[in-house]
Structure 1
Amino acid sequence: MFKPISLYIGLRYTRARRSNHFISFIALVSMIGLTLGVAVLITVLSVMNGFDRELKNRVLGMIPQATVSSTQILTDWPQLADKASQHPHVQGAAPFTQLQGMLTAHGQVSGILVTGIEPKYEPKVSIIQNFMVAGSIDGLQKGEFGIVLGKQLTDSLGLGLNDNVTLVLPEATPSPAGVVPRFKRFKIVGIFSVGAEVDSMMGYIALNDAATLLRLPDGAQGIRLKLDDIFAAPQVTRDIIQELPSNFYGSDWTYTHGNLFSAIQMEKAMVSLLLFLIVLVAAFNIVSSLVMVVTDKKADIAILRTLGASPSTITKIFMVQGTVIGVVGTLAGALLGIVFASSISGFLGWINQIFGLNLFDAYFINYLPSHLKWQDVILIVGLSLLLSFLATIYPARRAAKIQPAEALRYE
């Protein structure tokens, strides 16, 4: 079978045992460094992609992506919802009324953000129905004062389905005994578990029950919107507000969680840059190892030149040798990175559970997400191979410039 002489000799040099073990050690370090750099880069990018995905799918699936509210109670909110739904980026609209308070049960107290919703409309703007672990949001009926809570919150209060919990509102009510907070007892009709911070801080009640608690007429404070592109939220909100009277105002997720999303994107960029430097250092190690190989093989190069090998052939021989190191290191790193990215969530979750380390308490979700994107793998592998190839050019050209007479003078 035909095999180019440069490829044949280059592969022989790669497989051959060298008399200088230090050169072999440097080549091995270069390959291992490239492998670890590529593997860590793929793994860390997958974790950052996982945080990005969870923020979009879970947190932004529960909180409003965009809202249009009024300074007055909207008794005709269906008309506003229909008008907002005509915008090309709006996929759904639902009414809401929000109030803040504290839940108390069994001597435990926890702050909560309560949202009054219409169960029939809520699935248009929220993913809560996909994460119900007990009960249903359909249990939120007018006048029955039911409430849907997150699993983390019910666990911390020692509550379960159909248990009663007391909601304490910050508004004071005059009484013969003095000014006292407003209390209302609710029955838990549903429990959800999204696996994010919203499980411990949000609750849902019927829209009309929220109006009753606030002593307002039946209606809504505004409407929540679900968009086909979350990054279009600020513009969509402005477009809708421009067509409404002056008593309307808008908000979107960039005001509440925009800093978190920007932080994730910034961390992803900076970590990627820092880890890419590891790959770059490994590529420089290829340069140093090939330079030493060229010095060690001066006699061989001179003999090849006297046998008729051209400078380009010598160049290709050492480029093949360096490229083999880069290809093996890169492919091994890609394989390890894919394995690590696919298993790191389960592994760290197991470690966290076994040893009770609470590793994820500082994050907005209670586990380490990982989302492997093949375009990232292809980009990392491509850049690593390119750097490995570029690292072979200088040593290979240096080898091609060796003069046979000079190399053999002292042999």
Structure 2
Amino acid sequence: MARHLPYEWLIGVRYVRAGRRGGRNSFVSFMSLASITGVGLGVAALIVVLSVMNGFQRDVSARMISVLSHIEVYDARGLMPDWPAVAAATARNGAVQASAPFLELQGMLLEGDRMKPATLRGVLPAQEAKVAEFIRGDNAAGFAALTPGAFNIVLGADLARELHVKQGEQVILALPSQHSSLSNMMPQTRRFTVAGTFEIGHFEFDSGMAFIHLQDAEQLQQVDAPAGLRLRIADANQAPQVAQALKQTLDGQYILHDWTQRNATWFAALHSQKTMMFIILSLIVAVAAFNVVAMLVMSVTDKRADVAILRTLGARQLSIMKIFMVQGLLSGLLGVVAGTVVGVLIAWNLGAMVAAFEHLSGAHLLAKNIYFISAVPSELRWDDVAGVVAVAVALSFLSTLYPSWWATRSQPADALRHE
């Protein structure tokens, strides 16, 4: 098959192989290896970093959705006394799988001299379990104990640890007074019994959220209805479209928010970070491309006699350019292939590799109070891999243009005179 290739390709491939085997100029061989290694490292780094950022977004999003709900429906009047009818109306949309009423409060939890702010959500446990995935398994027992008038509370695991309370012990909830005035700024307080804890794996929720029964929340707020409904749909990614459809079908003045709106700033920041990391790490490949330029320039100098002989045999300038473009591009492709293989393998096994490193070193790479999660996630996406490969190949190709053009500027007589 090689015999049918154009001679420019045959000579370019031969130059790559000769450089790798030592050739007449050992430094050219070293630069060729350096350029291949540089491109490979850049490609592998890009694939691994993008996979980690994809995994981070996937894990944090999944844990957010398990708590925040896919869609929230609010009554513009402030309360939703007719929530069963609204729930039945939303159920007519085939995408809606379940609904649950809720009422949120902002308060302070106290135990001894320890004090922590918390978001309290009043729920109906049986209904909430249909829209919140985390109310299952070990987390379900505490929610079953949330009964009207019992004033039980389920705390996030980190919140319970920070307050130093366990199941069966009590905490004090302090809320702003519903009838506060300049002469009466004292908060209202209520003692709750810890019925259990839950752990989602998202530090923001595990350390700052608690659940009580809906009727207890209504009593504390001195209202007689929930604030709205939480909806679970079949595909969380379709939440904006389903919310828009519900706006058009629900009768009345309702405000709908999907989970992407509530976290729009966070997702926008993460997208910007991913884009910037791609650009910054692409500079690694760009630096390696400069090595390709240097390697080709030295290769052209080393092969001046070969170029002169080819020119005297009738080779055109374009053919000389093709020879060195093939040499440089093949060197870049070797780096791209090697980097892609290494990057994909690392991305697939990153979790195990990090866990082994943490076990051997005793260090913990991610603090969950900073990064929300405590394990290094990774999600390999082939469109990211394709983008990285395309950028690396394009940079490798561009790096061959100037040295290849420079090779055509040498005069055969001058080159052969010194041989």
What TM-score does the superposition give when structure 2 sets the normalisation length? Answer: 0.83
Q: Could you tell me how far 1:173 is from its partner in structure 2?
A: 8.8
Among candidates 203, 222, 229, match of residue 210 of structure 2: 203
Q: Could you tell me how far 1:402 is from its partner in structure 2?
A: 4.5
1:357-372 correspondence to structure 2 within 5 Å:
359-372=367-380
1:4-403 correspondence to structure 2 within 5 Å:
4=5, 5-16=7-18, 17-70=22-75, 71-87=77-93, 90-105=96-111, 107-130=113-136, 132-133=138-139, 135-171=141-177, 181-217=188-224, 219-227=225-233, 228-230=235-237, 232-233=239-240, 236=243, 240=247, 243-246=250-253, 248-253=254-259, 256-307=262-313, 311=317, 313-345=319-351, 351=358, 354-355=362-363, 359-400=367-408, 402-403=410-411
**What does the per-residue CA deviation read over 1:306-334, in whole Å, with 9 as the maximum and x for residues that have no partner?**
45656555444323321221122112222
| Structure 1 residues 173 and 402, CA gap change in structure 2 (3 angstroms) | closer
**Contact 2:366 2:375 survives alignment (8 Å):** no
Q: Of Structure 1 and Structure 2, which has the larger fraction of its residues in strand? A: 1
Question: What amino acid is the match of 2:285?
Answer: V
Q: Could you tell me how far 1:222 is from its partner in structure 2?
A: 0.8
| Structure 1 residues 51 and 209, CA gap change in structure 2 (3 angstroms) | same
| Structure 1 residues 45 and 80, CA gap change in structure 2 (3 angstroms) | same
CA distance in 2, matches of 1:384, 1:34: 7
Q: Could you tell me how far 1:298 is from its partner in structure 2?
A: 0.9
CA distance in 2, matches of 1:320, 1:150: 61
CA distance in 1, matches of 2:377, 2:90: 34
Residues matched between the structures, number: 407
**Contact 1:148 1:192 survives alignment (8 Å):** no
| Structure 1 residues 185 and 375, CA gap change in structure 2 (3 angstroms) | same
**What does the per-residue CA deviation read over 1:50-108, in whole Å, with 9 as the maximum and x for residues that have no partner?**
22212321113311443222335433311111212334654432211111222233543
Question: What amino acid is the match of 2:86?
Answer: L
**Contact 1:234 1:251 survives alignment (8 Å):** no
Q: Could you tell me how far 1:39 is from its partner in structure 2?
A: 1.5
| Structure 1 residues 39 and 131, CA gap change in structure 2 (3 angstroms) | farther
| Structure 1 residues 190 and 15, CA gap change in structure 2 (3 angstroms) | same
CA distance in 1, matches of 2:324, 2:55: 41
| Structure 1 residues 160 and 311, CA gap change in structure 2 (3 angstroms) | same
Question: What do you get for the CA RMSD once the two structures are aligned?
Answer: 3.3
CA distance in 1, matches of 2:308, 2:186: 100
Q: Could you tell me how far 1:48 is from its partner in structure 2?
A: 1.7
**What does the per-residue CA deviation read over 1:290-315, in whole Å, with 9 as the maximum and x for residues that have no partner?**
12211220101222344565655544
Identical-residue share of aligned pairs (%): 37
Question: What amino acid is the match of 1:45?
Answer: L
**What does the per-residue CA deviation read over 1:251-289, in whole Å, with 9 as the maximum and x for residues that have no partner?**
444554221111001111122112223222322331232
**What does the per-residue CA deviation read over 1:206-248, in whole Å, with 9 as the maximum and x for residues that have no partner?**
222222332333x3211112343557539826952884434x4
CA distance in 1, matches of 2:90, 2:247: 6
**What does the per-residue CA deviation read over 1:172-193, in whole Å, with 9 as the maximum and x for residues that have no partner?**
799xxx9563212223234233
Question: What amino acid is the match of 1:188?
Answer: A
Question: What amino acid is the match of 2:307?
Answer: I
Question: What amino acid is the match of 2:202?
Answer: G
Question: What amino acid is the match of 2:52?
Answer: V
Higher alpha-carbon deviation: 118-127 or 77-86: 118-127
Higher alpha-carbon deviation: 289-298 or 301-310: 301-310
Question: What amino acid is the match of 1:42?
Answer: I
Moved over 6 A (4+): none
| Structure 1 residues 312 and 358, CA gap change in structure 2 (3 angstroms) | closer
Q: Could you tell me how far 1:24 is from its partner in structure 2?
A: 3.1
Question: Any idea what SS the aligned residue of 2:177 has?
Answer: strand
